[in-house]
Amino acid sequence: MSRRARRARNERPGPAGFLVVDKPAGCTSHDVVDAARRWLGTRRVGHLGTLDPLATGVLPLAVREATKLVPFVEGGTKSYEGAIRLGTDTDSMDADGAVVRRHEGPLPDEAAVLEALTGFLGEIEQVPPMYSAVKRGGVPLYRLARQGKQVERDPKRVRIDRIELLKYAPPDVEIAVDCSAGTYVRALASVLGERLGCGAHLARLRRTRSGPFGAEQTVAASVLEREAEQGTLEGRLVPPVNVLGLPVVRLSGEAAQRVRHGGDVEAPDASLAPGSKLAALGPGGELVAVLEATPGRRLHPLRVLAVGRQD
């Protein structure tokens, strides 16, 4: 029997959906994915945006057929609350790293901190930290960093929609940030220290929103593990159609079958612009596919979900 066949045989059937974990500090996002795979009896689990080991908060997981929908929900605005500690630089730009420089002079006043924070607003170029999962020649940067290596990293454009000073209690600067996906708050902390001339690192971080998922939906890993033992965990899964945020089209049984086989169907609305996306539901209300409008009043399947429970 092939490895794929053995994995399929060991897969526990169940619903598709999204599980919103309140990630604890001290573990990686992949650690949480591995735990969810054990809880749910499936290898088909993936996260929607890495959180550093130091960080806590919103970590959405896609489960079973919902993994096909990750490209449609993994972007969007991320929101964070955290604290930047002035006066100390670390090699990882956060509190998990080794101290590489200490500032001996006085720390800046609140007015200087506010002015420096305002300078981050809008689109900025950000260099990924060496301690990150970004790959260089197929190798994650953090592996090179652990070997003591430094390599050139191409800057990328990110967007800061809000950066608010919540409290300044030197040496700690408490902030709230709304930003585009792919933004490193650690890097913001390091650059803030450079601008203020005193150095800085990220002391703590909590993600409060990731795209359509908010802190109010999160559940502690310890609670989820207990519910897995009790057999009630799958009731926590958020149905895929609730997450996509797309207009809904209901298909007849015949049309749903056609879509499941990769076929086009007629659009119900002639005014749909080409490129528009819709969530297609079958006769039983199950999510069948994500469809895209094409010229000629047709809807073409972009992602098709296998027949099964999605509640």
Q: Which of 22, 31, 34, 52 is catalytic?
A: 52
Residue 137: C-alpha distances to residues 28, 70, 134, 152, 154 (Å): 23, 25, 10, 12, 13
Q: Label each residue of the chain as H, E or C.
A: CCHHHHHHHHCCCCCCEEEEEEECCCCCHHHHHHHHHHHHCCCCEEECCCCCCCCEEEEEEEEHHHHHHHHHHCCCCEEEEEEEEECEEECCCECCCCEEEECCCCCCCHHHHHHHHHCCCEEEEECCCCCCCCEECCEEHHHHHHCCCCCCCCCEEEEEEEEEEEEEECCEEEEEEEECCCCCHHHHHHHHHHHHCCCEEEEEEEEEEECCEEHHHCEEHHHHHHHHHHCCHHHHCECHHHHHCCCEEECCHHHHHHHHCCCCEECCCCCCCCCCEEEEECCCCCEEEEEEEECCCEEEEEEECCCCCCC
Q: Is 31 a catalytic residue?
A: no
Q: Which residues are designated catalytic?
A: 52
